[in-house]
Structure 1
């Protein structure tokens, strides 16, 4: 039997390699398809995107090019969760239905940080990055490295922070399974996600800040696998 596809959508500043830390725990179960936006990783020669509509279209086209008729699920962290939700809405319009959507590091639509990081002066921008975590100090403190990553980070933040609330009225029929770190600013709002699906919803908090994912690769992999298996049971499928 063919393994189901697992689509991975990276966070701001991420790339196709961002989930390498978790892949060893998922490779036996899934055919893993990491997606990346232009301007980084394998797409370094392409122009960065600054508009959410363009980013959604880009991710949507990559997914449609890869999934074929295979069963698939989508996992996104932070910006990846925001894009994933919008992309699933577009997929459903085209009669493609993920078995489930796993969203981490994101409390869902209509809950936003008041700070627009993409437009901050450099010193305040760096302070915000340090608060978020996930970026090694060696990169922040190395001018050449940081000058390379800064435009990518600002472009990605602009995608999610400058958008008009495109997701506000959307509901998807795909089940949503949500994860957040218990020290994240909006972790108490994680159940907000249940307002945006007409299907099953489940959530879990793990210890840590916005990049708690690096502290819990096994737990997150198990959560993804359990979410998939739960939906297989509901649909009478077996993997």
Structure 2
């Protein structure tokens, strides 16, 4: 079992004691540096913890996971070991939405569900991703990442960066592209109150593909649109977290619900 201290690291600590704790599962290839613009958001009244997947940051020496189930198993164990009594919001963007959803199903099955689930910028499990990258050679793989906006063009021309980041990027994309459940269930399988988020100019997951998660979620309305592309979660973090706070604000008044 991976220790919670290795998997979960604080990202935002509120100026005043926060009533809610958000646990964020990042997108494919992301490390702590991708969320650097989240650090100043300590005025929102929300504590945020970032999930660190193996193969990056302080877990660089660990082998990368190549299946969403591996990450969800580790995360569910880490969450169950947390001593924090506050309502926990489990959130994920893109690949992170798959990790968050699978973790939520494990927590529900164990009788320890989170207070809320946030799924952002990801197609539903019974749908295939519109862009498949993991089978491409290194050059084409990196070119596609640059086109998506997931990395800078310097990765193309810097051998040291390619050697450092390509293994974790490839592992993440193998994991997210392998993740699929078909067909959709006859009735929603997850009971946790849920929020769906969609970027207004997201070319990787359409609004309809995000809305299709409703087949899996008993308590989820249509997606809420946030201005931005696929990476609105890091480009406009205040807007992202503002939507989360607004949707789950009742938990701060009724923490036992």
TM bucket (normalised to shorter chain) is 0.7 to 0.9
SS of match in other structure, 1:218:
helix
Within 5 Å, which residues of 2 pair with 1:21-36? 21-26=37-42, 28-36=44-52
- d(CA) in 2 for partners of 1:140, 1:167: 38
Query: Over the residues paired in the alignment, what is the CA RMSD in angstroms?
Result: 2.4
- d(CA) in 1 for partners of 2:142, 2:255: 47
After superposition, give the CA deviation of every residue in 1:107-134 in whole Å (9 maximum; x if it has no partner). Answer: 3222222543112112221222022113
Kindly indicate whether the alpha-carbon contact (under 8 Å) linking 1:26 and 1:221 is maintained by their aligned counterparts in 2.
no
After superposition, give the CA deviation of every residue in 1:187-227 in whole Å (9 maximum; x if it has no partner). Answer: 23122122221124242223332112233222112111112
Equivalent residue number for residue 75 of structure 2: 59
After superposition, give the CA deviation of every residue in 1:46-87 in whole Å (9 maximum; x if it has no partner). Answer: 111112221211222222223543310011111110110011
Equivalent residue number for residue 207 of structure 2: 188
Equivalent residue number for residue 69 of structure 1: 85
Decide whether aligned partners of structure 1 residues 202 and 96 sit closer, same or farther in structure 2, where only a CA change above 3 A counts. Answer: farther
Decide whether aligned partners of structure 1 residues 66 and 21 sit closer, same or farther in structure 2, where only a CA change above 3 A counts. Answer: farther
Kindly indicate whether the alpha-carbon contact (under 8 Å) linking 1:105 and 1:179 is maintained by their aligned counterparts in 2.
yes
Gap runs ≥5 in structure 2 = 1-16
Query: How high is the TM-score relative to the length of structure 1?
Result: 0.87
How far did residue 164 of structure 1 move? 4.7
Decide whether aligned partners of structure 1 residues 114 and 106 sit closer, same or farther in structure 2, where only a CA change above 3 A counts. Answer: closer
- d(CA) in 2 for partners of 1:156, 1:15: 12
SS of match in other structure, 2:195:
strand
Query: How high is the TM-score relative to the length of structure 2?
Result: 0.82
Decide whether aligned partners of structure 1 residues 2 and 207 sit closer, same or farther in structure 2, where only a CA change above 3 A counts. Answer: closer
SS of match in other structure, 2:127:
coil
Structure 1 position 19 matched with structure 2 position 32: no
Equivalent residue number for residue 116 of structure 1: 132
**Which deviates the most, 18-27 or 127-136?**
18-27
SS of match in other structure, 1:21:
helix
Structure 1 position 101 matched with structure 2 position 90: no
Kindly indicate whether the alpha-carbon contact (under 8 Å) linking 2:142 and 2:155 is maintained by their aligned counterparts in 1.
no
Gap runs ≥5 in structure 1 = none
Decide whether aligned partners of structure 1 residues 116 and 200 sit closer, same or farther in structure 2, where only a CA change above 3 A counts. Answer: closer
- d(CA) in 1 for partners of 2:63, 2:37: 27
Matched positions, count: 236
Kindly indicate whether the alpha-carbon contact (under 8 Å) linking 1:12 and 1:79 is maintained by their aligned counterparts in 2.
yes
* Structure with greater proportional helix content: 1
2:231 to 203, 211, 232: 211
